[in-house]
Each structure stands twice: as structure tokens, then as C-alpha cells.
Amino acid sequence: MRKELLLIVDDDPLVIESSTFLLKESFNIISASRRDEARLLLQNLREQPCIALVDLGLPPSPHTPEEGFALIKDLISFNSDIRILVLSGQNKDANIQHAMTIGAADFIAKPSDPETLKQTLQKQIVLINKEQTITNNNQRIIGNSDAINTLKTQIDLYAKTPFPVLIEGESGSGKELIAQELHNKSPQKNQKYLAINCAAFSSELLDSQLFGHKKGAFTGATGDQKGFFEETGKGTLFLDEIGEMPLELQSKLLRILENGEFYRIGETTPRTTETRIIAASNRNLSQMAFSGDFRPDLYHRLSVLSLRSPPVRERGNDKIELMQYFREKTKILPETFKLDDDAQKCWMQYQFPGNVREMRNIVIRLNTKYSGVTVSAKQLKDELESDFTSDFRQTSEKNNIESFFTADISLDEAISNYEKEIIMKALEIAEGNLSQTARILKTNRTTLYGKMQRLGINQ
């Protein structure tokens, strides 16, 4: 039986040692003690772990959860389907809820019962296998909101062309599903579809993965190897997180888009490809091209046809249909949960800052806790981050108001400081995308840019 790859990240060597001893019969295990160590480890792996067990309190700030939160986002950028279990002493309700919102599948408080830990990990493996089976048999874009209907119309138009497509949108909003739909509706639908995450590899390994290499081209190159462009043939190659591709590889990709030619590492004779390229990013590539962090000529080549993956908060009644889909997709027991009327209203009002990924994890927890039960609004709210954001907002407002009377600043300065704090928080949620930030703040992009200039906010 094949053992899945498990990543453990904890700054306590005893936790890593005991967890490895406990789980080595069921998993192939790799480990790291810091966030930067974990990133370096993953960048040099050809196969990404499907499941991770992580602590929130990591160096250099082991007494706060911020480094752990950042690690969760990192892991998802390497593998959007990874299941992350948090094993941590940072077990305040706000920390648990925020970890779930940004992508964690479950939370286990330290010290943990060994059998509980094993059962929780095994449950995630069952869910992974179940979702893969359903995904392979029934992959579709769900919903009939205006945003999704517009997207479906664009997909139908763009799928018929051989040109590259750029998909932009927030993390967790379903960009890879859009790429698969473009392929499935294209003339190349019977050809190969391959996907690679540009953020998941070091520059050297990504070069080899995409373009291939000749035997002896570098240490460890024991034989000739085809890259993804050769493997895909006349099919479709999906380049996820294209904004993370190193500049030196961007020039090689540009050559393919211009004349279909590339070189394997170590070869001097060009090869050709007819692969169709679909790229995606949750970053603002236009801004990156303007600042020199992304090649402008490559950006203009990729963005001839562009799509926007709408966040869940813009999808209206799709929220209910998505919930019903995930409810059936992730059930393990015969009976699933239901939402009462108030809980449905709460579900519709919730913004889902973690998008589809967060929704799926919430549904999994509800299916686990409330099989065959009608869930109330109070029970549902315990699974949402509304308490976290409410507490943050109330505390922030209270602190700002109280500090005004003790600080030597004018009313105009206090208002400017508060306005700056709100904009910076919205920029963080939108991951630097100005258009998305403007939507969150319910203003237009021009007004937002003017305020940022006035307040000295650099993107």
C-alpha cells in the first residue's frame, strides 16, 4: 500500500521525534522546525506532501501565531489541495478560527492524545481519496450567479481558441478548476492536461520540470528527462502561481509563446512544442510588470485573453449550492447535516474570506460534528471567523478611540491613522490587488489610489 507524504513543522524536536515514531508506519515523513526551513525543503521536492501537521508558534516569534498563519498560506501556495492539521498550544478560539479561515482543515490542541492524532490524519486521507475520485468523475463549475454566468460565457468563448489565457483571482477561489474547464471545452480536450505550481519548486528544479534536461547537465541528472512541455504535447499546460516564476525562466517561457521553441537544460538544439498555456496568479501581475518584478512583454503575451475568478462573497445564492455540493462530496457517514432557516441566513451573510477552500473545510467539520442533525445559527457561527473579525474590529476601534485622548494628535490625524489602518488591512486581505481592495472597501480604484497616495501607503 502506498504511503502518503506527510510534512511535520514544529520547533520542538521532541514533538517531531514522537510524531514521527507514532506515524511512520502510515506515512512517509519529512520535517522542519521553522517556516523558512519548510519552504526551502518543499522547493526542492519533486512531489509535494498531501498533508501537513504544523505548529502555530514558530521561530522567530514562538509565543504568537503569526508565523504559523504565514506558514499555512505558504503551504497552500505550494499545493492548493494540501490538508493542513494544526497541532499547537496556541489554542485560543480566535487563533483556531483564523487558522481554519486561511486554509487549515482541523485543529488539535497540545498535548494531544496519540490515537486521536492518528485517527484525525487517517480521516483526512479518506477524504482526500474520496474527493479525488469524485473530482475525476465529476468536475464542473457550480453556480448560476451573475459573476459565474459571466465567467462561463467567457470560458466557452476562450476555450475554442489556441491562445494563452491568464486567470486572476484570490487564493482559494477556484482558478485551477477554471483552467480544467477551459481544457475540457477546447479542441484539445482529448490531449493531455498537466498542471504545475511555479511556487512549489526552486528555480533550478522548475527549469528541469518545465523544459527537461540532458543526461549529465547537472549533478543528479543521471539520464535524459522530458519536461512538461514535451509531456503535454498538443494538450494544455496550466502554470499556477505564474507570478512566482523566476525572471530567468520567464524569458524561456516568452520564447515558447513567440515561436514555440525551447531548449532542454544542457542541449544546444532547440525543440518545439504546440502546447497551449493557461496561467494563473493571485497577485497583481499588471502591477508586478510595472514595478519590474514580472516581465512586461510576457505579461502582455499571457493576458491577451484574461479571466477573473470571482471570490465567494460575490457569488450570491451560489453559496448554498456550493455548500450542498461539498456536503455530498465530503460525507463519510450516510447522513449529512442540514441548516435551519437562521443558519442559512448566517451562511449567506458570511463573507468567506478564505473562499471555496474555507467553505469546503467548514462543511467537512459540520458533516463530522452534526451528521443527521439540523444545525442552528449559533452552532454554525462557532465554525466561522465572524467572532474573530468582530473581536478584532471592536478591539481596534476601542483602542483607537481610547488612545486618541492620551496621544498628542489632532482629530484629523487620528482619522487619517484609522483610515490608513483600514486600507492596509483590506490590502492584506486582497493580497495587494487594488481592484479587489476597492471592492472590499466599497469604493472605486481611482479614489482608493488617491487615498493611498495621500496617506503614504506603498503597495
Task: List the domains of the chain with CATH numbers.
Answer: 4-134 (3.40.50.2300), 146-309 (3.40.50.300), 386-455 (1.10.10)
Residues 10, 16: Cα–Cα separation, whole Å: 7
Cell 549533478 belongs to residue: 219
Segment 262-318, tens digit of pLDDT: 999 999 999 999 999 999 999 999 999 999 999 999 999 999 999 999 999 999 999
Is 147 in contact with 310 (CB distance < 8 Å)?
A: yes
The pLDDT mean for the chain works out to 88
- Indicate the burial class of 133 (C-beta count within 10 angstroms; 0-12, 13-18, 19 or more): exposed
Q: Kindly indicate the confidence band of residue 81, based on its pLDDT and cuts at 50, 70 and 90.
A: confident
Does the global pTM surpass 0.75?
A: no
pLDDT, average across residues 348-352 = 91
Cell numbers linked to 264? 532542454
166, amino acid identity: L
Segment 212-236, tens digit of pLDDT: 999 988 888 888 999 999 999 999 9
Residues 297, 254: Cα–Cα separation, whole Å: 8
Buried b (16+ CB within 10 A) or exposed e, 53-80: bbbbbbeeebeebebbbebbebbbbbbb
Q: DSSP of 399-440, one letter per residue?
A: HHHHHHTTSS--HHHHHHHHHHHHHHHHHHHTTT-HHHHHHH
